[in-house]
Amino acid sequence: MSSVLTKTKPSRNLASQAFAPAGLPARGLGAKPWLDTIIKGDCVAALEALPDHSVDVIFADPPYNLQLGGALHRPDQSLVDAVDDEWDQFASFEAYDAFTRAWLLACRRVLKPTGTLWVIGSYHNIFRVGATLQDLHFWILNDIVWRKTNPMPNFKGRRFQNAHETLIWASPSAKHKGYTFNYDAMKAANDDVQMRSDWLFPICSGSERLKDDKGQKAHPTQKPEALLARILMASTKPGDVVLDPFFGSGTTGAVAKRLGRHFVGIEREQAYIDAASRRIAAVEPLGKATLSVLTGKKAEPRVAFNVLVESDMIKPGTVLTDARRRHSAIVRADGTLASGGEAGSIHRLGARVQGLDACNGWTFWHFEEAGVLKPIDTLRAQVRAGLEKLS
């Protein structure tokens, strides 16, 4: 497929231009012209095109500052195609740190308070990025080790083979607790065992690796789609907006489109924009039913017992019992229960009447309907269903 780029409105920074890859849904080009586009320009300047708090998740694969000291050869003297591009070179650690601080601050502005940021790197840069994150008061949630099944050998034999990269997952602040983490989906996908922080994936190779017209790598550090798919499935919901300020070959955009998420890419090299645009245009999004995310009780909206009383689903004076009718309590107007001279919440009073330290009042207390005892949790489920219809 040939590269077809549709120019949209220029960003506020005149040095950058926004491009929409062909084949993307038209919905992204309406009220938010920057949605599902690649913005051409320097990442810090180009981020000015985005409104405050407009992005749900950021995936950043910044320059690693590899500090290569010359050409690298294999034992047979053939040249290794290493990352020696100008964009990966910095005059000093101080220059790299200043660059890191600048793009992180620009990302913080566009990230929603409930959003999260992922950044990947190697030992060359990830510790410096992590220190800057903490200096800027980001809250680190996890560090993830991406262990490669097929890493590049260490040709000189003077060090251990570099077989992993590190991802840092962070929230804008320790105060923001409402970020997305699809815990139940990750656990179910991992054979009902908690997903660990060490992930095993091969590096990008074979048919997935983009090539230029000469058959060479279109981008030297293209990430595997499997890695981005896990990140997006873990920390986003369908319809969320994912920003990649170092878009490169467009892996983030391709995976986001396939998984029903929106993307915004920033890239300064036109060759990478062309390759990414062709790649994304060829992606077919998955169906709505396929994209549903498994959630558990913790992800459901909180409903307090007094909501049932205030909405007249349970009237004050109603007598609640346990399933075997051994204990009973009266519902009071303030949403508490009373029994035998004691009063408290549905949980506390449920524990007291049983002589226990704790109790789940939602499943312990029952109300009677047409001669049948039903747990009050069935009423809470009705309230939650109503909330979902409104959302």
Is 72 a member of any domain? no
| Domain span at 92 | 37-67+82-290
Is 125 a member of any domain? yes
pLDDT at 34: 93
Is 155 a member of any domain? yes
Is 174 a member of any domain? yes
Indicate if the pLDDT at residue 327 is higher than 90.
Answer: yes
Is 8 a member of any domain? no
Is 75 a member of any domain? no
Task: State the pLDDT confidence band at 264, using cuts at 50, 70 and 90.
Answer: very high
pLDDT at 1: 31
Please identify, among 261, 290, 319, the residue that sits at the C-terminal boundary of a domain: 290
Give backbone dihedrals phi and psi of 320, rounded to 5 degrees, phi first. Answer: -105, 150
**119 and 175, same domain (yes or no):** yes
**Rounded to whole angstroms, what are the CA distances from 120 to 143, 206, 295, 339?**
10, 22, 27, 57
End-to-end alpha carbon distance in the chain: 40
Amino acid at 4: V
CATH number (domain holding residue 234): 3.40.50.150
Number of domains in the chain: 2
**310 and 348, same domain (yes or no):** yes
- For range 161-186, the mean pLDDT: 93
d(CA 345, CA 32): 47
Please identify, among 263, 290, 317, the residue that sits at the C-terminal boundary of a domain: 290
What does pLDDT average to over the chain?
84
pLDDT at 8: 33
**163 and 279, same domain (yes or no):** yes
d(CA 388, CA 391): 5
Is 333 a member of any domain? yes
**215 and 245, same domain (yes or no):** yes
Alpha helices in the chain (DSSP H): 43-46, 93-110, 126-135, 183-189, 225-235, 251-258, 270-281, 305-310, 346-354, 361-364, 377-390
pLDDT tens across 226-258, in order? Answer: 999 999 999 999 999 999 999 999 999 999 999
- For range 59-83, the mean pLDDT: 62
Please identify, among 225, 258, 290, the residue that sits at the C-terminal boundary of a domain: 290
**256 and 310, same domain (yes or no):** no
* For the chain, counts of helices (H) and of strands (E): 11, 16
Non-local (6+) Cβ contacts of 210 within 8 A are 217, 218, 219, 222, 249, 275, 279
Indicate if the pLDDT at residue 334 is higher than 50.
Answer: yes
Task: State the pLDDT confidence band at 49, using cuts at 50, 70 and 90.
Answer: confident
**187 and 241, same domain (yes or no):** yes
**178 and 312, same domain (yes or no):** no
- For range 213-236, the mean pLDDT: 86
Count how many Cα atoms sit within 13 Å of the Cα of residue 251 in the half-sphere of its side chain.
25
Indicate if the pLDDT at residue 9 is higher than 90.
Answer: no
pLDDT tens across 72-92, in order? Answer: 444 555 544 544 556 457 788
345-354 long-range contacts (CB < 8 A, ≥24 apart) are 345/305, 346/305, 346/376, 350/322, 353/327, 353/329, 354/327
**225 and 317, same domain (yes or no):** no
Task: State the pLDDT confidence band at 299, using cuts at 50, 70 and 90.
Answer: low
- For range 274-281, the mean pLDDT: 93
Is 6 a member of any domain? no
Q: And the tokens for 98? A: 């200043």
Indicate if the pLDDT at residue 194 is higher than 80.
Answer: yes
pLDDT tens across 137-146, in order? Answer: 999 999 999 9
**284 and 319, same domain (yes or no):** no
pLDDT at 338: 96
Non-local (6+) Cβ contacts of 182 within 8 A are 233, 234, 235, 237, 293, 294, 295
Task: State the pLDDT confidence band at 298, using cuts at 50, 70 and 90.
Answer: low
More confident residue, 314 or 299: 314
Q: Percent of the chain scored above 70 by pLDDT?
A: 83
Are 384 and 378 spatial neighbours (Cβ–Cβ below 8 Å)? no
pLDDT at 297: 64
Q: Percent of the chain scored above 90 by pLDDT?
A: 58
**278 and 309, same domain (yes or no):** no
Indicate if the pLDDT at residue 387 is higher than 80.
Answer: no
> Hey, which residues does 338 pair with through a beta bridge?
330, 343
**231 and 320, same domain (yes or no):** no
**278 and 316, same domain (yes or no):** no
